[in-house]
Amino acid sequence: MLAYLARRLLQSVAVTFVVLSLVFVAGRILGDPVRLVVGIEASEERVQRVREQLNLNQPLGQQYANFIGDALSLQFGTSFWQKVPALPRVLERIPATLTLTAAALALALPLGITLGALSALRPWSRIDRVTNVISLGGVSIVEFWLALMLILIFPVRLGWFKTSGYGGIEYFVLPALTLCYKPLGRIAQITRSAMLDELAKPYVKAARARGLAERRVVFVHALKNAAVPVLTISGDELAALLNGAIIVETVFGWPGIGRLTIQALERRDLPMVEATVFVVAIFIIVTNLLVDMAYTWLNPRIRFSAAGDA
Amino acid sequence: MLHRKTLLIVILLLLLLPAALQAQDDTVVIAVGIEPVSMDAWRGFAETGGPGFLNAVEQLVTRDFASGEMVPLLATAWEWVDDRTIQFTLREGVSFHDGSYFNAPAAAASINHTFDPENAFDLLDFVGSMSAEAVGDYTLNVSTPEPDPILLNKMYFVPIGSAQQLMDDPDSYHTNLIGTGPYRFVEWSSGESITYEVNPDWWGHGMMDEAGGEVIFQRAVYRFLPEDQVRTAAVQAGEAHIAQYITPEQCAEVSMSDSARCESAASVETIFIRMDTNSPMLGDVRVRRALQLGIDKDLIIETILGGTATATGQIVNDTALGHSPDISPYPYDPDEAAALLEAAAADGVPVDMPITLGARIAVMPGIDETLQAIASMWGDLGLNVSIEFFDPEGFGQVMLVNIKDVPEERNFVAVHLHGQELLDYHISYRFYFSCDGILSVYCNDEAEALWNAAEPLAGAERDATLQQLNQVAHDDVAAGYIGHLDFSYAVSNALDWSLKLDHRLQAKEMSPAG
């Protein structure tokens, strides 16, 4: 198990390195960041001056070597845009995004699993049809539109909650609801499908034949086995939530890492983009590791395989 | 039973929430679209780049938009020493928010820092070089390298920050705004807002006329909400008093509400059409004129821009020196346009060359529809037009080029915005029309001579020469125009505030309604 984890960690370091290298290259070949920093009407003399100030006049190889060296010591330089060290600014924004994504997942997971399981227990019933509508809506809806509709209905028409901003529960409800709807839909769909598969398997019939209570059959046996694909999708959803957070944070004026990423990209703020990608990559890698470890609890065969590898 | 009780409590809380969520009475909340790049004092020259900065920093002079005259602020008087230098007499008894005194050495240090080429601040490109020298405790000389008749106008764009800060803690210049203004900078919550609170030591308390306003609100909060619909909703929900830059549709929506209103005013921004005048097709003045006669500007303004623009035939509005009252917009006359194109074709001008009509993404509300409308109208004239949208970087690459470097076959037409905040046509001409202008794809020797002649002139003489230049450029169709753009705001009925031409959002000009 430890060897498995060590191997996964090494893979993670390699992935982080590749992602950072891609960001470095993309940031420099997709246009001149200096021109965006200084504006369209700046003189060529000024452009050159700023290029020197930002060390963007060095050969690309030298820039890359500096970049990797700095990244290894967690130094991503000073933001072109905010004139402060990039990584601490990114880390400042992490709690806001984590709070939002955690809340969205905390809503989406139980609701999605419950709806999916109920739906699978009574296929083609009214609850199944309602769940289908909800889950299809979730996977199809555009978050930007949903966010604006929620704002117009709740704060503007009903006077409930805040339209935007960061703070207590009144600021929090609408962005969390917006962000949770898509994963809720996907989790409900996967749960329904996985539960239908499990409920049709012989061990369920055998359990029922042995006289086990239906609740135990469904929730202890079938749902636990159905949880493996749900867990997989939940790991993916957590990463997808970070993407969704970009839109939700922008619309609701939520000061998280998603909004910071967009602002940094708009301004070609290379240090900030690099620090953001680094932090997000680490977050996704850690999430995937945790999901892999959870597999071993849900499915002993995976644990055996990991031990066998060791 | 317990569930029912919980449900009741939740409902009660939800019903009580709205009252608790309204903006506090002593705080004015303003929703703006763009977060500043930094808190550098010089960024106060523009509201978009420095939201609310003029609450904290002040200039030596400001503009009275009723009379159009420059009036005292931190300077009480001034006189021209020679054609390059203005001597300012500074206000005494003023202090910065960090406790240091405002005097001539402090003002000189701030101005020289702002215009130091090593710092490479945008303001240097915007207004050109200048330097300052203290010639007494409260006497300051501000000079330009060359004679500059509009130097006084330019001082409106030069906020004065703390010299003590630059000396003791220069790094904090980017994150801590220290000036002499009616409000002190309190906090920049990155991604969220900037907060200012009243400065009890402001020199302007009790001097409403001289100080250009009075402090009523104790705090001013500028919230960053990039989506215009959300800014509007924040005003409608009573969370903000002003929403900056809303669309005509939002303006109409707000106008129907009881709690808020829409205020619009002309801005210094002009929607103009820049044509590659070195191409075999667009080099012909008949073709350029035909393109302008082929655009129904009034229709675009009414249907796409919601009436929030005024049709024009020149790049500056009537507040600018060089604006000519004699220049009218090119009328919509597709028959005349077709005849001009026919005549040009008969003389061998390749009027069938493909035209690329381009703009920067989201440069203004309705830009997509505007481009489609123009392309459709030009298509009706039999022209071969395709549309292309660019991100800021890509647009910079196609726009930031002088006529000498433009390939003749490019045949590119850009629809863009130009803001003439300095209220002087000479500067607009330099960028977009002069033979060496960094954004110019036009060159006309007659116009160039007039432009050079206008440079050292001042007052009525300068105005007359610039108007003459404007007329020459208009007759030669140096560029086309749609209109001068209005900017609109959603304003809570709980607030008294009148929009000015500079579109600045200063809390000292705001008070609770009634």
The structure tokens 């139980």 sit at: A110
Take residue B120 and report the two structure tokens written for it: 């490479």
Q: How many CB pairs under 8 A join A and B?
A: 131
Cα dihedral B157, B160, B166, B172 sign: negative
Burial readout B90-118 (b: 16 or more C-beta within 10 A, e: otherwise): bbeebbbbbebebbbbbbbbbbbbbbeee
Interface contact B230-A251, CB threshold 8 A: yes
B223-235 pLDDT, tens digit per residue, is 999 888 999 999 9
Q: How large is the ipTM?
A: 0.75
Q: Which of A30-39, B122-131, B198-207, B311-320 has the lowest mean pLDDT?
A: A30-39
Q: Is B223 on the interface with A (CB under 8 A)?
A: yes
Specify the amino acid at residue B106: A
- pLDDT at A165 exceeding the cut of 80: yes
Q: Which of B220-224, B281-285, B417-421 has the lowest mean pLDDT?
A: B417-421
Position B15 scores a pLDDT of 47
Q: Which of A248-262, B116-130, B132-146, B409-423 has the lowest mean pLDDT?
A: B116-130
User: Mean pLDDT throughout B51-59?
Assistant: 96
| Cα–Cα distance measured from residue B293 to residue B275, given in angstroms and rounded to the nearest whole number | 14
User: Mean pLDDT throughout A158-176?
Assistant: 91
Spatial neighbors of B114 by CB under 8 A, at least 6 apart, are: B41, B42, B121, B123, B124, B158, B161
- pLDDT at B472 exceeding the cut of 80: yes
Residue among B24, B23, B47 at smallest CA distance from B35: B47
Q: What is the largest CA-CA distance in chain B?
A: 92
User: Mean pLDDT throughout A288-294?
Assistant: 79
**Closest approach of A89 to chain B, Cα-based (Å):** 8
Burial of B82 (0-12, 13-18, 19+ CB in 10 A): exposed
Position B237 scores a pLDDT of 93
Q: Is A211 on the interface with B (CB under 8 A)?
A: no
The structure tokens 């000009």 sit at: B509
Which of A32, A170, A253 lies closest to B230 in CB terms? Answer: A253
Q: Higher confidence at residue B79 or residue A261?
A: B79
The structure tokens 């409590």 sit at: B9
Q: Are B421 and B155 in contact (CB under 8 A)?
A: no
A190-238 pLDDT, tens digit per residue, is 999 988 888 888 888 888 888 888 888 888 788 888 888 888 788 778 7
Q: Higher confidence at residue A74 or residue B141?
A: B141
**Closest approach of B339 to chain A, Cα-based (Å):** 37
Which of A38, A249, A254 lies closest to B122 in CB terms? Answer: A38
Burial of B59 (0-12, 13-18, 19+ CB in 10 A): buried
Spatial neighbors of A75 by CB under 8 A, at least 6 apart, are: A85, A87
Report chain B's mean pLDDT, rounded to a whole number: 90
Specify the amino acid at residue B175: T
**Closest approach of A250 to chain B, Cα-based (Å):** 7
Residue among B212, B202, B211, B209 at smallest CA distance from B94: B202
A250-286 pLDDT, tens digit per residue, is 899 998 888 888 888 877 788 888 888 888 888 888 8
| Cα–Cα distance measured from residue A263 to residue A93, given in angstroms and rounded to the nearest whole number | 13
Position A160 scores a pLDDT of 92
Position B1 scores a pLDDT of 47
- pLDDT at B125 exceeding the cut of 70: yes
Position A40 scores a pLDDT of 55
Q: Higher confidence at residue B214 or residue A225?
A: B214
The CA-atom distances, in angstroms, between A48 and each of A10, A264, B397, B434 are: 41, 21, 16, 23
B-proximal residues of A, 136-155, CB under 8 Å: 148, 151-152, 155
